[in-house]
Amino acid sequence: MFITVPSIDWSAIGALLIMAGTGLVVLGEGMFVRSIRVSMVTAIAGLGAAAVYSIAQRGAQISGFGGMILIDNLSLLFYLIILAGAFLSVLLLNEFVESHPEIHGEVLALFCFSVFGMMLMASAGDLVIVFLGIEIVSISLYILAGIRRSNPYSLEAAFKYFLIGAFASGFLLFGIAYIFGATGSTNFERILSFITNSPDGPSTFLYIGVFFLLVGFGFKIAVVPFHMWVPDVYEGSPTPIVAFMSTGVKAAGFAVLIRVFLHILGGYFIEWRNILWVLAVLTMTTGNLIALVQDNIKRMLAYSSIAHAGYMLVGFTAGSPVGISSVIYYVAAYTVMNIGAFGIISYFESEEKGLYTISEYSGLRYSRPWLAAGMALFLFALAGIPPTAGFFAKFYVFRAAVNSNLTGLAVIGALNAVLSVYYYLRVIIYMYMRTAEKDFSDYTFRMSDSITLVICAVIVLIFGLFPSLFLGIAEISVF
């Protein structure tokens, strides 16, 4: 009897194997070396190796494991965005663990596994792989959110995140089941082929399945009305984890949405535009309005994160290649400017003397002028003020909406952007125009935090001064 072993193109999962292997090595180091510094170096080396491997694959068109894994310029670009966000967040985590002795090397192993799951989502060519990636990401982040076991807010964040995540997983499974029942497959190419060859087009069951998928992803990327978990989870979770959670999950989520809606539905995407239009408006408006009245700075940035998901949906709703490339640009820009803002908060966060309310940042410019300038830059970028990355991120998604005859959506987005300026400027006013309430000299200089902030600031300015550099890369990945 002969056993036929199918040929496997291992290059399709090379970067994934690097991240999974890094997570396992870091986990093993925790048992023998017991040095968070060694684990940190290992994690950074793994992220760098995965990034180099991804860059080396540029231009590749690989369909591995029976079409379940897709490696192309789109997935590789999302790989790099996710890895860059993870690298910056790990640098923030490096100093954070010094003031939290209950955190050990396992936090970095979970970090690597969550990156692996996000990359798996970005390269998925099958709904089963999508679900597998989401569950790997979710389980890792549930634990990371509650990693400070002695902090009741951290435990509350983990519990709430777990409950909402369970609901989201249920919706996703319902959606996958309906799509499989309607088409007989979970593979993207086969689903598209079934729809294309069907004389009646997509069936009602397929639309129900896609609707459930949209609900499940709405929970993950914090789209209104599926955003309820965000403020409590962001407030209670360790700030470096929040920095990565708020950016990496969005990048992976939009990567899957692009695949599902534009790949599976193809020419039928236009039929979903009204639903996406409403979700974009609700998400932008709700996030900005509630952020206006927040006094806790992490909750303010949490609602800001919801609003930014709405801006990304504006470009996605356009449904054109220009709209998708603008979404990719927005995801990349949001990654650096949001990690930079949370990096400032992380700089001042410890169990004994963290800064939690906006008023506690009063007078920051007097004793920490560079940190105040950095925070102002990141907040200006989030508000969309030129010449920062945030300005062109908003400009490109609004332009894509106008080009797709969605002028009303672009106008609502622009009005929301103006509304958001108020709560971002409020923090800047406290830093520069109020007397200090705290002695900021008590906070020690932290090298890795400073490196992270400098990198984020430079990228925010480069993206703002030379926006066509990255946008050109995004367009090549989409067209």
Cβ atoms of residues 340 and 461 within 8 Å:
no
How far is 346 from 88, CA to CA, in rounded Å? 12
How far is 379 from 385, CA to CA, in rounded Å? 9
How far is 333 from 241, CA to CA, in rounded Å? 18
Domain of 323?
A: 268-479
Tens-level pLDDT at each residue, the chain (479 residues): 556 555 677 778 888 999 999 999 888 877 777 677 788 888 899 999 999 999 988 887 888 787 888 888 888 999 999 999 999 988 888 777 766 666 666 788 888 999 999 999 998 888 899 999 999 998 888 888 888 777 777 788 888 888 888 888 888 998 899 988 888 888 888 888 888 787 776 678 888 888 888 888 888 888 888 888 888 888 888 888 888 888 888 999 999 988 887 777 766 777 778 888 999 999 999 999 999 988 888 899 999 999 999 999 999 888 888 888 999 999 999 999 999 998 888 887 754 556 678 888 888 888 888 888 989 999 999 998 988 898 999 999 999 999 988 899 999 999 999 999 999 999 999 888 887 777 666 666 677 778 888 999 999 999 888 888 888 888 887 75
**What are the distances in angstroms from CA 310 to CA 71, 253, 263, 284, 399?**
28, 13, 21, 5, 15
Q: Considering the domain boundaries, does residue 284 fall inside one? A: yes
SS3 49: helix
Greatest Cα pair distance, the chain, in angstroms, is 83
Nearest C-alpha neighbor of 11 from the set 86, 46, 61? 61
Q: Encoding tokens for residue 13?
A: 């999962």
How far is 15 from 47, CA to CA, in rounded Å? 9
Q: Considering the domain boundaries, does residue 132 fall inside one? A: no
Identify each DSSP E strand in 282-422 by its residue range.
Answer: none
SS3 459: helix
Q: Considering the domain boundaries, does residue 126 fall inside one? A: no
**What is the number of residues in the chain?**
479
Q: Considering the domain boundaries, does residue 412 fall inside one? A: yes
When divided into structural domains, the chain yields a total of: 1
How far is 115 from 25, CA to CA, in rounded Å? 15
CA 203 to chain centre: 32
Tokens 């979770």 correspond to what residue? 237
Q: Considering the domain boundaries, does residue 430 fall inside one? A: yes
- Residue 469 CB neighbour total at 10 angstroms: 10
Q: Considering the domain boundaries, does residue 464 fall inside one? A: yes
Q: Considering the domain boundaries, does residue 235 fall inside one? A: no
Q: Considering the domain boundaries, does residue 301 fall inside one? A: yes
How far is 162 from 165, CA to CA, in rounded Å? 5
SS3 63: strand
